[in-house]
C-alpha cells in the first residue's frame, strides 16, 4: 500500500464532504484570524508608544487569552456536528474491512490537512486585517500613530501553537469516540433518536424554576454591587433554565397539545405537533445554545456601544467644569488656589471663568437594624456618604437651603426610616429631601447618600467621628475648586497641562489636579479598547451561532427526507408537505431569537446598574443601543437563516422531483 494512500484518502474525504468541511474550515480559519488579530494588535499597541497605552495592551492581552480558550471550545463544538454527519461513512469503512487503526491514520491526515488550511488562511487573513484593526482601535481611542506594516512573529507562533493543540485535542477525542463505538452503531449514528420523546416533567419543572430564579435575581437588584454579585448566578440559572425548557419543557407542552383530542385530531395540527415533537427532541440542545449565544451577543454589543456613545455624557456628569483642584481644607485655601490659578491662566494667554468651589468630607456607613454605623466590619447594607454644607449646596444648585443646628437635608438612593438620621451617636432631623447633582454622588457600586449639613464645623465633626471609628484611615475635610478656561485651544491646553506648576510652593495640601481633556483621553482609550474587545468577543459568538444554524439546516434536511416520503404516501400533496415542513423549520429557528430577546429584556435592569460602575447612568441611551442591537441582530439572524436554507437537503430533494 502506498505511503500516500491515507493522505489521498483524507483529501478525497474532505472534497466529497465539502458541504460539511468547508464551513468547518472557514470557521476555524476565522477563529485563527481573530486570535492572531487580537494578539498582533496588542503587540502593535505596545510598540506604538502612545501615552496611556499600557491599559489598552493589558485588556487586549486578556481578550486574546479569552479568545484562545473560546476558540478551543468552539472547535470542539463545531467538530461534534461534523463527526455526527460522518458517522455513517466511517461505519461503512469498518464494514468494508478497514480496521480502527486505519481509520485513525486516515483521521490524522484529515486533521493535518485541516490544520494546514486553517493556519494558512487564518494567518494570511489576520496579517491583511490586523493593520486595519489596529487603525480602527487607534481611531476609536482617538490616538494618532504612524502605521508601519509588520507581522509579529510571536503572534504567528502563538497562533500555530494554539490551533495545533486545539486540533490535536479534537483528533484525540474523535479517535476515542470511533474506537469505542460499534461499527453498526456508527452506521445508524445520524439516525438515532427516532422514537417518540419521553416526558421529563422534573427537568421541565427545573427549567421553569431556574428561569424564574435567574429572572428574579436580575430584576430585583437595587444597586450596582447587587447587580455585579447577582449577574453571574443569574446567568447560570438562565442558561440551565433555557436548556431545561428547550429540551423538556417544549416536549411537555407539545404532549399536552397532543392529549387534547379536539385540538390534535385535525390534519394541520396533527402534522405540526407530531413533527415539532421530533424536531425539538433532536435539536433542543443546539437551539438552546443558539439562544444563549444570541443573548450574549445582544448584551455585549449593546453595553459596549452605549459606553462608547455615552463617553461625553459620562464626562459631563463627572466634571461640572473643565478643570478641578482638590486638597485638604485650611484657612484661605480656596482664595490662594484661585489667585494662583488665575495668574497662571493669564500668563498662558487664557482666562479663568465660571468658578465654583465647595467643601466636603466622605465616609462609608453600614445600615443595620439598630441604625447606622461607620464600623464597616458590621454586617449590613453598605452606603457611600458624601457630606457638604447647606451654603455650598445652595451655591451649586441655585436652590435656597437654610438649615438649623441639628438639621440635615438628605438625598439617598434607598429609603430612610423616619425623620431622624443617627450615625454613631450623631443625629440630625431630616427636615427636607434634596436632589443631588451628579458630580456630588459618590462614585460607588453601593447605595449612595448626599448628606447636607448646616456648617463647615459639622463637616469637621463628621470627619473626626470617622477617624475615631477607622483610625487606620485618614479623614479630612476637603476643598474642591472647579473652573473653566477661555482662550485659544493651544493656550488653554497648555494651561491645563501645566497647572500643577502654578501651585508649587503654595503651602496647600493638594491631593489632585485634573481636567476633562486628560480624562477624555483616558476614557476614549479605556472604552475604545473595551468596545474593540467586546465586538471581537461578539464575533466569536456570532460565528458559533452561524455554524450551529448551518449544521442544523443540514441535519434537519437529512432527517426530513424520509418524512417527505411518508407524508406523500399517506395522501398529502407535495406542496402541502413543503409548506408544513417549512412552517416547522421556521418556528424551530425563530424560537431561540424570540427567547434571546426575552432574556435580554430581563437582564436590562441589572446591566444598567452594572454600567454605572463605568460612569454610564443614561438608561435611555442604553435602551436605544439595546433596541438597535436587537434590530440589527434580528435582520442578521434571519439573513443567515435564509442564506443557509439552500443547504437544506429536504428542499433540494423536493424540488428535484
Q: Does residue 249 register a pLDDT over 70? A: no
Are the beta carbons of 456 and 389 closer than 8 angstroms?
Answer: yes
Report the alpha-carbon distance of residue 209 to residue 285 in Å, rounded.
Answer: 18
Which residue has better confidence, 470 or 418? 470
- Is the pLDDT at 597 greater than 90, yes or no? yes
Q: Per-residue pLDDT for 655 more than 50?
A: no
- Is the Cα torsion angle 503, 504, 506, 511 positive or negative in sign? positive
- Sign, Cα dihedral of 517, 520, 526, 532: negative
User: In this predicted model, what pLDDT tens digit does every residue of 149-183 receive, in sequence order?
Assistant: 778 888 999 999 999 999 999 888 888 877 776 66
Tens digit of each residue's pLDDT (9 = 90 or more) over 616-642: 888 899 999 999 999 999 998 888 877
pLDDT of residue 351: 87
Average pLDDT of span 225-249: 85
pLDDT reading at 443 higher than 70: no
- The answer to whether residue 493 scores a pLDDT higher than 90 is no
What average pLDDT is seen over the chain? 80
Q: Per residue in 528-559, pLDDT tens? A: 888 888 888 888 888 888 877 777 666 665 55
pLDDT of residue 654: 45
At 643, list the grid cell.
442564506
Mean of the pLDDT values across residues 242-255? 74
Model confidence pLDDT, tens digit, residues 92-108? 666 666 777 777 888 88
Each as own residue / partner, the long-range contacts of residues 270-273 (CB below 8 Å, 24 or more positions apart, any chain) are 271/567, 271/572, 271/580, 272/580, 272/583, 272/584
CB 314 within 8 A of CB 615: yes
Which pLDDT does position 238 carry in this prediction? 92
Instruction: Tell me what pLDDT residue 630 has.
Output: 93
Task: Write the DSSP assignment of 453-498 as a string of letters.
Answer: ES-HHHHHHHHHHHHHH-TTS----EEEEEEEEES-HHHHHHHHHH
Q: Reply yes or no on whether the pLDDT at 260 is more than 70.
A: no
pLDDT, greater one: 126 or 576: 126
What's the average model confidence in pLDDT over 131-151? 78
Q: Which helix H or strand E contains 510, and what residues bound it?
A: strand 510-515
* Of the ranges 64-73, 109-118, 321-330, 648-657, the best mean pLDDT one: 109-118
pLDDT value at residue 582:
66
CA distance 480 to 388: 11
Better-predicted residue by pLDDT, 416 or 127: 127
**Tell me, what's the pLDDT at 577?**
57
Give pLDDT, residue 2. Answer: 57
Asked whether residue 255 carries a pLDDT value surpassing 70, the answer given is no
Give the whole-angstrom CA distance, residue 455 versus residue 464: 15
Cβ neighbours around 132 below 10 Å, total: 11
What percent of the chain stands above pLDDT 70?
Answer: 79
Q: Tell me what pLDDT residue 120 has.
A: 94
Q: Which pLDDT value is given to residue 115?
A: 92
- Quote the pLDDT of residue 282: 59
Residue 519: exposure state from Cβ atoms within 10 A (0-12, 13-18, ≥19): middle
- Residue 91 or residue 320, greater confidence: 320
More confident residue, 189 or 293: 293
Is a pLDDT exceeding 90 seen at residue 380?
no
Structure confidence at residue 589 (pLDDT): 75
Q: CA 626 → CA 154, 216, 486, 621, 640, distances in Å?
A: 38, 20, 38, 9, 21
Above 80 in pLDDT, residue 19?
no
Helix, strand or coil, per DSSP, at residue 322: coil
Confidence check: pLDDT of 568 > 60: no
pLDDT greater at residue 28 or residue 52: 28
**pLDDT confidence of residue 627:** 94
The alpha helices in 247-332, defined as continuous H runs, are 250-259, 261-264, 267-309, 311-318
Tell me the CB-side half-sphere exposure of residue 506, using CA atoms within 13 A. Answer: 25
pLDDT value for 193: 45
Gyration radius of the chain's alpha carbons: 32
Banded model confidence at residue 185, pLDDT cuts 50, 70, 90: low
- Cα(452)–Cα(396) distance, integer angstroms: 12
More confident residue, 354 or 443: 354
| 653 confidence band (pLDDT: 50, 70, 90) | very low
Find the mean pLDDT for residues 268-276: 58
In this prediction, residues 126-151 reach a mean pLDDT of 80
Taking residues 2-27, what's their average pLDDT? 80
Work out the average pLDDT over 80-97. Answer: 70
Mean pLDDT of 355-361: 90
Contact by Cβ (8 Å): 85, 554: yes
**How high is the pLDDT of residue 47?**
81
pLDDT at 287: 77
Give the pLDDT confidence score for residue 628 in this predicted structure.
93
First to last CA, the chain: 42
Higher pLDDT, residue 641 or 576? 641
The band of 265, judged by pLDDT with boundaries at 50, 70 and 90, is low
Amino acid at each position: 500500500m502506498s505511503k500516500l494512500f491515507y493522505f489521498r484518502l483524507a483529501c478525497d474525504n474532505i472534497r466529497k464532504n465539502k458541504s460539511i468541511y468547508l464551513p468547518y474550515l472557514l470557521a476555524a480559519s476565522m477563529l485563527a484570524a481573530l486570535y492572531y488579530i487580537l494578539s498582533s494588535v496588542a503587540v502593535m499597541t505596545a510598540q506604538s508608544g502612545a501615552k496611556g497605552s499600557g491599559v489598552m495592551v493589558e485588556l487586549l492581552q486578556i481578550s486574546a487569552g479569552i479568545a484562545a480558550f473560546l476558540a478551543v471550545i468552539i472547535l470542539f463544538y463545531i467538530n461534534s456536528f461534523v463527526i455526527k454527519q460522518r458517522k455513517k461513512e466511517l461505519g461503512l469503512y469498518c464494514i468494508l474491512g478497514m480496521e480502527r487503526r486505519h481509520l485513525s491514520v486516515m483521521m490524522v491526515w484529515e486533521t493535518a490537512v485541516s490544520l494546514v488550511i486553517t493556519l494558512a488562511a487564518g494567518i494570511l487573513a489576520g496579517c491583511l486585517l490586523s493593520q486595519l484593526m489596529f487603525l480602527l482601535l487607534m481611531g476609536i481611542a482617538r490616538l494618532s500613530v504612524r502605521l508601519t506594516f509588520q507581522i509579529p512573529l510571536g503572534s504567528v507562533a502563538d497562533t500555530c501553537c494554539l490551533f495545533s493543540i486545539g486540533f490535536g485535542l479534537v483528533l484525540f477525542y474523535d479517535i476515542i469516540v470511533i474506537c469505542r463505538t460499534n461499527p453498526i452503531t456508527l452506521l445508524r449514528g445520524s439516525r438515532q433518536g427516532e422514537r417518540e420523546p419521553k416526558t421529563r416533567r422534573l427537568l421541565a419543572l427545573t427549567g421553569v424554576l431556574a428561569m424564574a430564579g435567574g429572572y428574579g435575581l436580575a430584576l430585583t437588584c437595587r444597586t450596582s454591587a447587587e447587580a455585579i454579585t447577582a449577574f453571574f448566578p443569574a446567568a447560570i440559572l438562565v442558561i440551565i433554565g433555557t436548556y431545561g425548557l428547550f429540551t423538556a419543557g417544549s416536549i411537555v407542552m407539545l404532549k399536552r397539545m397532543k392529549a387534547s383530542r379536539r385540538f390534535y385530531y385535525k390534519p394541520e395540527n396533527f402534522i405540526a405537533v407530531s413533527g415539532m415533537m421530533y424536531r425539538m427532541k433532536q435539536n433542543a440542545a443546539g437551539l438552546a445554545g443558539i439562544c444563549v449565544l444570541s443573548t450574549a451577543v445582544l448584551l455585549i454589543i449593546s453595553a459596549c456601544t452605549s459606553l462608547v456613545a455615552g463617553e461625553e455624557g459620562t464626562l459631563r456628569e463627572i466634571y461640572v467644569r473643565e478643570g478641578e483642584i482638590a486638597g485638604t481644607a485650611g484657612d484661605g485655601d480656596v482664595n490662594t488656589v484661585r489667585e494662583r490659578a488665575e495668574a497662571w491662566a493669564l500668563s498662558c494667554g487664557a482666562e479663568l471663568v465660571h468658578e465654583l468651589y465647595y467643601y466636603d468630607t466622605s465616609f462609608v456607613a453600614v445600615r443595620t437594624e439598630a441604625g447606622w454605623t461607620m464600623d464597616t466590619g458590621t454586617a449590613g447594607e453598605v452606603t457611600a456618604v458624601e457630606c457638604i454644607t447647606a451654603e455650598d449646596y445652595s451655591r451649586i444648585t441655585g436652590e435656597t437651603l437654610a438649615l438649623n443646628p441639628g438639621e440635615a437635608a438628605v438625598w439617598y438612593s434607598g429609603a430612610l426610616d423616619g425623620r431622624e438620621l443617627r450615625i454613631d451617636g450623631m443625629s440630625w432631623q431630616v427636615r427636607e429631601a434634596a436632589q443631588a447633582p451628579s458630580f456630588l454622588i459618590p462614585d460607588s457600586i453601593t447605595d449612595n447618600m448626599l448628606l447636607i449639613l448646616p456648617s463647615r464645623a459639622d463637616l469637621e465633626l463628621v470627619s473626626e467621628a470617622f477617624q475615631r471609628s477607622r483610625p487606620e484611615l485618614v479623614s479630612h475635610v476637603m476643598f474642591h475648586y472647579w473652573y473653566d478656561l477661555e482662550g485659544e485651544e493651544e493656550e488653554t491646553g497648555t494651561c491645563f497641562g501645566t497647572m500643577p506648576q502654578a501651585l508649587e510652593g503654595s503651602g496647600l495640601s493638594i491631593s489632585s489636579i485634573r481636567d476633562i481633556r486628560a480624562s477624555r483621553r483616558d476614557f476614549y482609550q479605556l472604552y475604545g479598547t473595551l468596545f474593540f474587545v467586546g465586538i471581537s468577543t461578539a464575533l466569536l459568538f456570532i460565528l458559533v451561532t452561524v455554524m450551529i444554524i448551518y449544521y442544523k439546516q443540514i441535519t434537519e434536511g437529512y432527517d426530513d427526507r424520509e418524512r417527505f416520503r411518508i407524508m406523500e404516501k399517506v395522501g398529502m400533496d407535495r406542496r402541502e408537505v413543503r409548506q408544513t415542513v417549512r412552517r416547522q423549520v421556521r418556528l424551530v429557528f425563530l424560537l431561540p431569537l424570540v427567547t434571546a430577546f426575552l432574556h435580554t429584556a430581563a437582564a436590562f435592569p441589572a446591566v444598567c446598574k452594572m454600567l454605572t460602575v463605568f460612569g454610564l447612568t443614561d438608561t435611555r441611551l442604553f435602551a436605544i443601543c439595546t433596541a438597535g442591537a436587537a434590530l440589527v441582530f434580528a435582520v442578521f439572524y434571519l439573513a443567515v437563516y435564509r442564506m443557509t436554507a439552500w443547504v437544506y437537503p429536504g428542499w433540494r430533494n423536493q424540488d428535484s422531483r
